[in-house]
């Protein structure tokens, strides 16, 4: 059982505040991913939980008990870094056994613990090797093994697979997930890769410049981003965002995207749902899969011209020009034959987001 809680955590480096009033409750066994751009404070947060960094204000609690006064070694938390720094002169076996050698554990128990962990990580056949004879992925498995072998209260991982090539990263991602399902431990995992975050997390914590932006399941942050930062940080290709105006057109809602000419037809309930925001400058957000493309004109569709087509194998991303406004659409591969083609498109209301342009906050409109 390990719960971790951060309450009002603040951290300065000199005059620069790098963590701003961070509040977060992590459940037992939960896999939390801290996601954000370089410099947003992910590593600092992780190091603060591990006890490798002090905090200036707030509390960090493990299982309900404040731990600031505890040294890293007394917090019983394991950390895995991007640079895995195995001991080069030791075998894989000794590298994994190392954290247990300092304890009073019996030799036979250490042996069993090392072999169990090696089996879970599928590196049993590598135990006699030196790190120099391992692939990058295997080295990282050993580093994870060394962290796991103590059966720590929690695992903290800082971009543990960031240094590996794309294919190996994908493999290791699946491996880490499998391991978490099998072993189960409260985990905080840091990455700036949103695909990694989406695929691993029970809940994603998105940070920007030291400020927590949103906490939610992958579906939640993807489907209901709370602000423009999250909307454009999560998802690839990024969500289209454009200034928009909503008007009443004979009882129906019409959404005019700046530069796009005519309005897109929307269900009339949009008018009442936006009532409180009347007059405020709005931004419309829609992911490429929410822009629906057709070859024939139909009600609710506006004409557009295909500008650039990016074939991505199983689908295409097509830049569509509506007047002077560009919106990216996702289509079946080959659906739009070539740049310059005239097509028709509409916006799927259920996938359209509205934000207050000034604050960037979502208006929470669901259609
Ligand atoms: N020891 C330090 N002294 C001064 N400033 C620091 C120190 N460590 C980190 N910083 C600054 O604090 C901010 C947050 O750094 P942090 O390492 O937590 O970011 P990060 O989100 O992990 O970034 P990255 O993705 O690049 O690893 C950055 O602006 C960084 O320059
Ligand atoms: Mg970092």
Measured CA to CA, the distance from residue 256 to residue 24 in angstroms comes to 39
> Is the domain defined by 4-226 classed in CATH 3.40.50.300?
yes
What's the whole-number mean pLDDT along residues 37-51? 96
d(CA 189, CA 160): 8
Chain-wide mean pLDDT for the chain?
94
The band of 334, judged by pLDDT with boundaries at 50, 70 and 90, is very high
Q: Is 192 in the pocket of ligand 1 (CB under 6 A)?
A: yes
Mutate to test the pocket of ligand 1, among 18, 45, 191 (most ligand atoms within 8 A of CB): 18
Cβ neighbour number for residue 270 with a 10 Å cutoff? 20
Q: What is the pLDDT of residues 246-300, one digit of tens each?
A: 998 888 899 999 999 899 999 999 999 998 787 789 999 999 999 999 999 998 8
Domain positions in the chain are 4-226, 240-356
Give the model's pLDDT for residue 251: 84
- Residue closest by Cα to atom 17 of ligand 1: 43
Q: Contact 341/295 with Cβ under 8 angstroms?
A: no
**184 vs 327, residue with greater confidence:** 327
Distance CA 277, CA 90 (A): 64
Distance of CA 282 to the CA centre of its chain: 26
* pLDDT for 129: 96
Of all protein residues, whose CA lies closest to atom 29 belonging to ligand 1? 39
Contacts of 145 (CB under 8 A, 6+ apart): 95, 96, 114, 117, 118, 121, 123
Average pLDDT over residues 91-107: 93
Q: Pick the residue whose CA is nearest to atom 16 on ligand 1.
A: 41
Whole-model pTM above 0.75? yes
With a cut of 90, say whether residue 47 has pLDDT above it. yes
- CB-based burial of residue 331 (10 Å sphere; 0-12 exposed, 13-18 middle, 19+ buried)? buried
Domain 240-356: top CATH class: mainly beta
Give the pLDDT of residue 230. 97
Structure confidence by residue, pLDDT tens digits, 156-212: 999 998 888 888 888 888 888 888 888 889 999 999 999 999 999 999 999 999 999
Residue 351 per-residue DSSP state? G
pLDDT single digits (tens) 316-325 = 999 999 999 9
CB of 346 closer than 8 Å to CB of 329:
no
Section 337-361 average pLDDT: 97
Q: CA 309, 300, 303 angle in degrees (round to 5)?
A: 40
The CA 45 to ligand 2 mean position distance, Å, reads 9
pLDDT over 90 (residue 1): no
Q: Is the pLDDT of residue 83 over 80?
A: no
Mean pLDDT, to the nearest integer, of 225-246?
96
Residues with CB under 5 A from ligand 2 (ion): 43
Q: What is the pLDDT of residue 275?
A: 80
Per-residue pLDDT at 82: 79
Peptide bond preceding 237 in cis form (omega within 30 of 0): yes
180/213 Cα distance (integer angstroms): 26
pLDDT at 92: 97
Please report the pLDDT score of residue 184 as a whole number: 84
Nearest CA to ligand 1 atom 31: 39
Nearest CA to ligand 1 atom 9: 44
Lowest mean pLDDT segment, chosen from 3-7, 118-122, 192-196, 338-342: 118-122
Place of tokens 């406004």: 325
Q: What pLDDT does 162 receive?
A: 86
Residue 273 CA to residue 344 CA, distance in Å, equals 27
Q: Say if residues 208 and 18 touch (Cβ distance below 8 Å).
A: no
Question: 110's torsion region: left (phi>0), alpha (psi -120 to 50) or beta?
Answer: alpha
Distance 64 CA to ligand 2 centre (A): 27
Mutate which of 15, 20, 44 for ligand 1? The one with the most ligand atoms within 8 Å of its CB, which is 44
Cα separation, 313 vs 330, whole angstroms? 12
Ligand 1 centroid vs 161 CA: distance in angstroms? 19
pLDDT score recorded for residue 183: 81
Q: Which of 86, 97, 176, 171 is nearest to 134 (CA)?
A: 86
């Amino acid at each position: 059982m390990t719960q971790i809680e951060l309450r009002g955590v603040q951290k300065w480096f000199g005059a620069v505040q790098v963590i701003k009033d961070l509040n977060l409750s992590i459940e037992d066994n939960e896999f939390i991913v801290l996601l954000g751009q370089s410099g947003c404070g992910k590593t600092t947060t992780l190091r603060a939980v591990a006890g490798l960094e002090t905090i200036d204000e707030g509390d960090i609690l493990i299982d309900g008990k404040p731990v600031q006064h505890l040294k890293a070694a007394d917090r019983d938390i394991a950390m895995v870094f991007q640079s895995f720094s195995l001991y080069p002169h030791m075998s894989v076996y000794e590298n994994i056994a190392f954290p247990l050698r300092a304890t009073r554990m019996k030799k036979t128990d250490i042996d069993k613990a090392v072999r169990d962990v090696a089996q879970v990580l599928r590196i049993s056949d590598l135990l006699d090797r030196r790190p120099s004879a391992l692939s990058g992925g295997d080295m990282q498995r050993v580093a994870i093994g060394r962290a796991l072998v103590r059966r720590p209260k929690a695992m903290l991982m800082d971009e543990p697979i960031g240094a590996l090539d794309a294919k190996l990263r994908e493999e290791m991602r699946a491996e880490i997930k499998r391991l978490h399902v099998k072993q189960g431990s409260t985990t905080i995992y840091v990455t700036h890769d949103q695909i990694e975050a989406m695929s691993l997390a029970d809940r994603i914590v998105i940070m920007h410049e030291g400020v927590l932006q949103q906490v939610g399941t992958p579906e939640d942050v993807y489907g209901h981003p709370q602000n423009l930062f999250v909307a454009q940080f999560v998802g690839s290709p990024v969500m289209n965002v454009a200034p928009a105006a909503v008007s009443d057109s004979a009882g129906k809602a019409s959404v005019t995207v700046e530069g796009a000419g005519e309005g897109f037809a929307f269900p009339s309930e949009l008018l009442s749902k936006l009532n409180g925001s009347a007059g405020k400058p709005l931004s419309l957000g829609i992911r490429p899969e929410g822009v629906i493309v057709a070859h024939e004109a139909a009600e609710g569709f506006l004409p557009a011209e295909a500008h650039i087509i990016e074939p991505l194998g199983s689908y295409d991303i097509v830049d569509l020009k509506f007047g002077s406004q560009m919106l990216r659409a996702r289509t079946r591969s080959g659906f739009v034959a070539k740049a310059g083609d005239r097509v028709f498109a509409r916006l799927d209301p259920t996938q359209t987001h509205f934000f207050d342009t000034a604050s960037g906050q979502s208006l929470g409109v669901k259609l």
